[in-house]
Structure 1
Amino acid sequence: MKIYGGICISINSISTLTITTNSINRKTQNNTLINNNNGWVSDADKLAQALDDKYRKINEQNKQFSNPDQHIWDKYVNQNSPYFRSDLTETERNISLRAEGCWLQNGLIGYYDFRDSLFRNISPSSLNINVEVAERKEFNRQKVNDQLKQLLDEYQINIPKDTKLTFTIDPNNYKLTVSGTDDIVLSGQLEEALNTANNAKELFVHIMDYYGSQLSDLAKNGFDSIPDLFLSIGYENGSLQDIGQKESYGTGKTDWIEELKARVDSLK
């Protein structure tokens, strides 16, 4: 087995010792608790919702006028109108003109422009794609950590503090094996719990998302077949830990995300 930046690539088969104990609570045996996708809502999604709420309300106000189209025109184009929005910039007036016209005709904005006056004081990091990706991954990692804890609790598995484990998953059958401990009872219990239902498969997809760029690099170097890729991730003190990654999403190791946001906002 060779390790490339935290991704274990093995061409040979791996033999493992599986320990089954009668003390394991099997009530979750047929349930998948781990989920690689946990309903992340980005700042951009929230801002889009805010625009929907804004223009839905304004549309109702516009419809109180006998000629809503003319009223919209007066607000954003007709400088002689008492309704003219001189408090807005020309760009903001054009954005509102289009948004209100679309909502009146179609019942939706049609195009979200975050230069809208609603967002005059928004921080640049709220719309930065790199920040969004990092925060999504941090969110999903914490959710998966919680799901792992729930699974281990239901199987009554206690992992000693500071034990550094490694979970390795075979992409051919999504079988998970545990290393990093000489306690074969503990490793056996973990393997039995994590290999129930689709838990190992969901964890595999979770790891794939975090190592995506490295997988692309490996494919360029000839490792273009998923069956060749045994993915590994660390686990310590209740948190999954990325192996060999420049950017970590493990608990207590995500200060770099706030630093990234600060750098982006400083460019405003």
Structure 2
Amino acid sequence: MGIQYTSNTDYYNKIPEYRDINLLPKNSSSDTSVGYQYTDMTEEMRIGIQVTREHYEKVYQENLKHSNPLAYITEKYYDKSSRHFCGYMTEEQRVFAARTEKTMIETGGKTMCGYASYDYSLRNYEGIYTGGKNTGFRLNTDREKQYARSVINQQIYSLLAKTGIQVTNQMNLKFQIDPYSYKLTVTGNASKDILSAIEQILNEGDNAKNLWHHLWICMHDRDNEIINSQGSYRKAEQQSLWHEFYQTTGYDIRESKYQNGTFIAEDGTDLLELYKKNAKHVEGIDLYTKRFLNFAQNGWNKACDLTIAVGFDSSGLYDIGQENGFGINQATWIKGGIQNILDAKV
């Protein structure tokens, strides 16, 4: 039996024909059918990221010179009576700078993955700087996230239709994706056979991996702050740490044991030594080594696993754990409404 689109057929029909819904993320395996390739960075974006990253890395080192870095950051951005107060910035610039610098202190120097075009550090870069007013983060905009969601919804519906799975108004499922293996599991009010069939389809190729990354992007606001209760910077660091070591050494660091200042795999391999030997980016060795010691010395914390769950019903995917989601019935908060979003050239 073919798929039943219920009341949302118009939503999918409004996806612009000029967009290629088969443009999957780069490096997806040949048997992948689900995913969205976000807009590649422009030269302006690269410059913006480079300038702000260098700026905040320098400021991070300066902040560390103070006995209480967090208190110092609060003082210079919020205490107007302080001689350190940055009165030359707008209030929005101070708020953004304070949040960025505090995050770097709390995460051991982790920099942003994008940039804010109103950041004071960009004031001398014409064509990039938009002034002191908050214009949002310049990477993966809300409009593009919503468009990506509509594309992925259609991809999933198409896969289910080919298998003869009918999505009714009563169906309500939950997809949960492991952050390491990217294995997806399905639960909900459908028969075991249907749940198993959907699991099999969505675990083909890099479908679940691409879906995980899309959901992770959607868990951030326009200032790149995590707004979903499922996520945190610590969870993100643990997830990236695991993948860095797995890709570099081929070992699952969760199965290693801390011994004499290093980590030993079950076969006796010293994982820190192997990582240092094989690491592609020399500048990242110290960072990941320190992070590894910080995260895993007392055993891997499963509570910090960045497992992501998302709902799925007749309207498509809907976010769990955040107020401003990107599901059809969640996206009314986005300026312009759903129809404009789907028609937008992102």
TM-score (norm 2): 0.39
Structure possessing the higher radius of gyration over alpha carbons: 1
Q: Relative contact order (C-alpha < 8 Å, sep 6+): which is higher?
A: 1
TM-score (norm 1): 0.49
